[in-house]
Copies of this chain bind each other. A is one copy, B any other.
Amino acid sequence: MPDPLIIGVDLGATNIESAAVRGGDILASDKKKTRPEKGVDAVIERIAKTVRNTIDDMDASKDDFEALCIGAPGAVDIEAGVIKSAPNLGWTNVPLGDLLEEELEMPVLVDNDVNIGVLGEHVYGAGKGTLDMIGIFVGTGIGGGLVLNGTPHYGWRGVAGEVGHVVVKPNGRQCGCGRYGCVEAYASKTAMEAIIREEMEKGRSTEVFEIMEKKGKQKLTSSVIEASLEAGDLLMEEAIQNAQYYLGLLTANLVNVLDPEVVVFGGGVVERLGQDFIDPIGRTARQHYLQREGAEKIRLVPAALGDDAGPIGAGVVARRRLQSAI
């Protein structure tokens, strides 16, 4: 039996990406800006338009697809298809599944975007063929997901994988979550921007904010980071090294506790900077995890699917959930 045809959608705060997926292959795709500031209804309409474009592009009809699976940022009630809380979208208790089913008249499955990305990388990307994989995603925040003994680990309440909120420095910087010393408070783009700004306010010079302005960006994006590093900006370099150090501690802690075969790093920053971003993380991690037999074989690698991890992972999740529903 061939893999079913699925519509996989990645709903981000900036972009909506829709794709027709079969197994690890993307057969057609479409992308739009999310524009969450226009409200829930407008976003639903934009998702639906992106999906219709994808289907049209294949000269197909929605009945050719087994289901649509959409990954959303934030806390998701998977069974009910409800986005309980998505701060980046400004959403609370949005019944995304029902709204899309009504709009598109096809079965809709909803899951967390990071869980979906991790599964995509596990089945078709950098974690292919492994039983124990940790995914760490570096972006506006720091997300993560676990595959243990070959299956995704969601935890008792379904909220496992919050690697961004591992405390790496007691009484350290305040994190967006309100607590202190989380790795996200050092290694996310938000944190790096705040750290650079604080240093600038102390009198040190940086080109980061000029570069940001030149590029027409409101915040520190991955492309601003790359351009600032290329310009040799010292504060940007320090912020990156600081992020890498704390991501190294995080990685070491996860290796000591979970003993994975591979740690996959993804997200915007990693996509831009690639293995160069990961190597220093690996050096710190190896200094901090136990050098037991086989420790040198643990792989720390960049995600392989890039933006496609969302739609391809959505296809994997849809297949799992359709199967278990039989």
Contact = CB atoms under 8 A, between A and B. Distances in A.
A100 interface: no
A76 B157 CA distance: 33
A216 interface: no
A168 B84 CA distance: 32
Interface stretch (A58-66, A102-110, A196-204, A254-262): A254-262
A56 B154 CA distance: 48
Interface stretch (A14-22, A112-120, A145-153, A218-226): A145-153
Interface residues of A, number: 50
Given A160-B258, A288-B179, A155 B132 contact: yes
Contacts of A146: 257-258
14 contacts: A75-B293, A132-B156, A149-B151, A156-B298, A158-B259, A160-B258, A161-B259, A163-B257, A166-B253, A167-B253, A167-B288, A169-B169, A179-B290, A254-B257
A165 interface: yes
Contacts of A27: none
A157 B298 CA distance: 10
A70 to B, nearest CB: 21
